[in-house]
Structure 1
Amino acid sequence: MSERSERIIKHSNTFLLPDLGEGLTEAEIVRWLVKVGDVVAVDTPIAEVETAKSIVELPSPYAGVIEELHGEPGTTVPVGSPLLTVADPAGAAYRAEERAGSGNVLVGYGTVESTGSGRRRKPRVSGVSGVSENVSVARVPLVISPLVRRLARDGGVDLHELTGSGPDGLIVRRDVEHAIAFRAQPASEVRPSEVRPSAIQPSAVPATAGQPAVAGVEARTGLHELRRTPMSGFRKAVVATLTRSRAEIPEATTWVDVDATALVELRASLRTATDPGPGLLALMARFVVAGLLKYPELNGYVDTGREELVQYDGVNLGLAAQTGRGLVAPAIGNAHTLTTRGLDAEIRRLTASARDGRLTQQELTFGTFTLNNYGSFGVDGSAAIINHPQVAILGVGRIIDRPWVVDGEIAVRKLTQLSLVFDHRVCDGGTAAAFLRFVADAFENPATAFADL
């Protein structure tokens, strides 16, 4: 290596994935906001990563030129591992000088060394099966990751035969994996270069007892696998929480049908031409908070280490919400101090943040009780899983017209179902039923309930 090349390496800084707090040990790269060759300043956003809690936008701690991205979107990176490498301005200036008049230098292979005669050598590509040591620049494939090159070498895949599916034709890991999978199928006239990911079909050869399945066929059933989807860090966290909930909490469920006609009418009366008024969920949330202040046993946690039942002085009301990333339950902090309009504003803010993947770790983890409006999915009831370490969750089904007896007469009313799942360690059925009845009565007679709040 030349003295000048060593000087470039000395001026490179590698950004390691930082500790993202909350005991998180890894993050998945969602997308890069920069590419190799980009010039960045300190605090320039460089990547979005997904932790078990939320999506985080990472800023660059260094200024300079992006030299290498250590991972493709979808890659899980442990805390403390390299995320990207940045050449500082001094190294970047030298690199620009080296490139002057040399034409394009392809990504992934560094700069071209100069010879004593001032003529540049052709790029040297090593470790790729079937590729000559000296190749023309036009035939060097676009590859960034050394892992991709190694995967191709180990799988006997000629990168020159592939067309990359990444940005600007970049060859990424899935391209090599698809080529390897295709080669494992029965003889075919199609070459790997002609195979696109959508065109690859699983093998039609079923597995037999005592023999491994052919790629793409599940051994037990002999059926083709439609797809395999790696669990994201977020999904792993959901699995861990729900599994722990089922394993540790002796839960019980109680439910009641509720005439919500007056609640719907109250919601309509609060709407004007200039003010949409608080939504139904905000009205429900207001009554749930009042119920938790009256029955604090359901607003706490079990300290198993000290064998104590803990109740909170205040309510952080969690709201279950379905997003593109999965089910989340961000919480409204100090919900007991807010008016119904204040609750409505927070519900709208959290809903927008959940949809955009911008919820904070605190919002996702500091809830003390969860309200789950599964009626938005068009279902009547559900035996939900408690969001550990909370001790209860209240579900609200869809509100629909049904026949109901009113003053001895059958009438069409707005009916819904409330279901409460609670930790039997913190209270008996009487307390749980009393809380549920309090909320149900408030739904049926909201004006009277508001007068007492």
Structure 2
Amino acid sequence: MTAQQFRLPDLGEGLTEAEVLRWLVKVGDTVAVDQPVVEVETAKASVEVPTPFGGVVAELHAAEGATVSVGAPLISVASAEGSGNVLVGYGTTQSRRARRRRPAAGPRPLVISPIVRKLARDHDVDLSALTGTAPGGVIARRDVEGAIAASASPARGPVAPVDPLPVRERVPLTGVRRSMAERLTRSRREIPDATTWVDVDVTALVETRRQMLARDPGNPVGFLAFVARFVVAGLARYPDLNSRVDLDAGDIVHLDGVNLGIAAQGERGLLVPVVHDAHRRNVRELHAEIARLASAARAGELGVGDLTGGTFTLNNYGVFNVDGATPIVNHPEAALLGVGRILDRPWVVDGAVVPRKIAQFSLTFDHRVCDGGTAAGFLRFVVDCVEHPAEALARI
């Protein structure tokens, strides 16, 4: 019986590597076609990968905790049958893989990450002259940064040594957490962001929710679902904020429809699951999908599709019992709306000081896509809807 070697397949969604979390089989085990054999974590999610071969496990090619590049060996199976499937769970097709397959002929630098390519291009680093230190000889960011440091001439005198502090522990920056770190770093590096905010009287919206719950106790609607509906309506009126910048083409790309990201805290850090086609959903439908995504995030069960395709992000940092923040735009999106906690505060209504429920709303936006007037107009639209929810729901 010949051993068949199964390599890490094209993961789709621009993913180029995965970390081996745990093997589900060991050498000598008998496996069936399409049986999950390993759990891996990509920059998007963790998934179980099935083998296309049935037979006896002959070799595991990567240790748990190792990072494996697309095309690198995963497992060898002394097999008698095969399914032809390469990756069940990501939804990639044979034709799609064929289109993405690179020519085998001719030498090329082993570079996986587009961030690494851009870093090299920005600093005139010749990738073909580098030797990759990542598994499989892949050129990693540290290799490019080392080349940049080596070629730079010192602008100042030598820096005095600093007494090192003892290290308590090192936490690997992998998977979803690394992806988010790279995205936020890129956002801070590329996007000239600005923030505007306003204190909002949410008393009427709180009362609207209470009345809806009294009429239908078994079918509640969350505060965030109302805000999401008003955000979607606002983006239809201010499309600059539902866009992204294409620097290569020199364009601002306005997007057709809204995929609304909802910032959430998961077991592995900050996640932004996406309510797809939010512009087609009413308040109750938005509430149901937000609740599903939040539950999946807490349980670590979000799929790749749940975490991709966002066009605008809504961040409810009030759940952390804070009033305001200036969050980083979720690259490549153009804006993010933040909602602070709701507090009882003295408020002037019709000339009298009365207790009202107040929350701070903030909008952080990419100043390349619009000016402050557009951003303020969008924020004011959302705030007006929140302060007069009955009228808003009747007209949007």
What TM-score range do you get, normalising by the shorter chain? 0.7 to 0.9
| Contact kept in structure 2, 1:65 and 1:89, CA below 8 Å | no
For residue 238 of structure 1, what is the aligned residue in structure 2?
Answer: 180
For residue 42 of structure 2, what is the aligned residue in structure 1?
Answer: 51
Question: What are the residue-to-residue correspondences of 1:127-206 with 2, within 5 Å?
Answer: none
- Rounded to whole Å, the distance in 2 between the matches of 1:238 and 1:263 is 33
| Contact kept in structure 2, 1:271 and 1:277, CA below 8 Å | yes
1:262 is aligned to 2:204: yes
TM superposition shift of 1:36 = 3.1
For residue 308 of structure 1, what is the aligned residue in structure 2?
Answer: 251
Partner of 1:34: helix, strand, or coil? coil
TM superposition shift of 1:253 = 0.5
Q: 1:431 aligns with which of 374, 387, 390?
A: 374
For residue 344 of structure 1, what is the aligned residue in structure 2?
Answer: 287
- Rounded to whole Å, the distance in 2 between the matches of 1:402 and 1:361 is 42
For residue 164 of structure 1, what is the aligned residue in structure 2?
Answer: none
Partner of 2:213: helix, strand, or coil? coil
TM superposition shift of 1:364 = 1.9
| Contact kept in structure 1, 2:345 and 2:358, CA below 8 Å | yes
- Counterparts in 2 of 1:310 and 1:88: CA distance versus 1, 3 Å: closer
| Contact kept in structure 1, 2:329 and 2:365, CA below 8 Å | yes
Partner of 1:412: helix, strand, or coil? strand
TM superposition shift of 1:12 = 1.9
Look up the equivalent residue of 2:262 and give its one-letter code. Answer: L
For residue 4 of structure 2, what is the aligned residue in structure 1?
Answer: 13
- Rounded to whole Å, the distance in 2 between the matches of 1:449 and 1:418 is 17
Q: 1:287 aligns with which of 230, 244, 247?
A: 230
For residue 142 of structure 1, what is the aligned residue in structure 2?
Answer: none
What TM-score does the superposition give when structure 2 sets the normalisation length? 0.76
| Contact kept in structure 2, 1:241 and 1:388, CA below 8 Å | yes
Range 38-47 or range 377-386, more displaced? 38-47
TM superposition shift of 1:336 = 0.8
For residue 79 of structure 1, what is the aligned residue in structure 2?
Answer: 70
Gaps of 5+ in 1: 1-9, 91-209, 212-218
TM superposition shift of 1:436 = 0.5
What TM-score does the superposition give when structure 1 sets the normalisation length? 0.67
For residue 451 of structure 1, what is the aligned residue in structure 2?
Answer: 394
Instruction: Summarize deviations over 1:113-161 as a string: whole Å, max 9, x none.
Output: xxxxxxxxxxxxxxxxxxxxxxxxxxxxxxxxxxxxxxxxxxxxxxxxx
Gaps of 5+ in 2: 82-158
Look up the equivalent residue of 1:243 and give its one-letter code. Answer: T
- Rounded to whole Å, the distance in 1 between the matches of 2:389 and 2:163 is 55
Range 256-265 or range 219-228, more displaced? 219-228
TM superposition shift of 1:89 = 5.8
The structure with the larger Rg is: 1
TM superposition shift of 1:274 = 4.7
Number of residue pairs matched by the alignment: 319
Q: 2:53 aligns with which of 45, 48, 62?
A: 62
- Rounded to whole Å, the distance in 2 between the matches of 1:47 and 1:364 is 21
For residue 249 of structure 1, what is the aligned residue in structure 2?
Answer: 191
Range 413-422 or range 73-82, more displaced? 73-82
1:380 is aligned to 2:371: no
| Contact kept in structure 2, 1:320 and 1:329, CA below 8 Å | yes
For residue 225 of structure 1, what is the aligned residue in structure 2?
Answer: 167
1:414 is aligned to 2:357: yes
- Rounded to whole Å, the distance in 2 between the matches of 1:23 and 1:337 is 27
TM superposition shift of 1:269 = 1.6
Partner of 1:271: helix, strand, or coil? helix
Range 412-421 or range 359-368, more displaced? 359-368
- Rounded to whole Å, the distance in 2 between the matches of 1:308 and 1:70 is 45
Look up the equivalent residue of 2:191 and give its one-letter code. Answer: I
For residue 7 of structure 1, what is the aligned residue in structure 2?
Answer: none
Q: Identical aligned pairs, as a percentage?
A: 58
- Rounded to whole Å, the distance in 2 between the matches of 1:304 and 1:363 is 27
User: Which structure would you say has the larger RCO, counting Cα contacts within 8 Å and 6 or more residues apart?
Assistant: 2
| Contact kept in structure 1, 2:262 and 2:272, CA below 8 Å | yes
Two-structure CA RMSD over aligned residues (Å): 2.2
Range 260-269 or range 350-359, more displaced? 350-359
Look up the equivalent residue of 1:425 and give its one-letter code. Answer: R
TM superposition shift of 1:290 = 0.7
- Rounded to whole Å, the distance in 2 between the matches of 1:404 and 1:270 is 25
Q: 1:392 aligns with which of 335, 338, 355?
A: 335
Instruction: Summarize deviations over 1:239-289 as a string: whole Å, max 9, x none.
Output: 221121111111110000011111111112222565232211111101110
| Contact kept in structure 1, 2:177 and 2:270, CA below 8 Å | no
Partner of 2:319: helix, strand, or coil? helix
TM superposition shift of 1:82 = 1.7
- Rounded to whole Å, the distance in 1 between the matches of 2:387 and 2:10 is 49
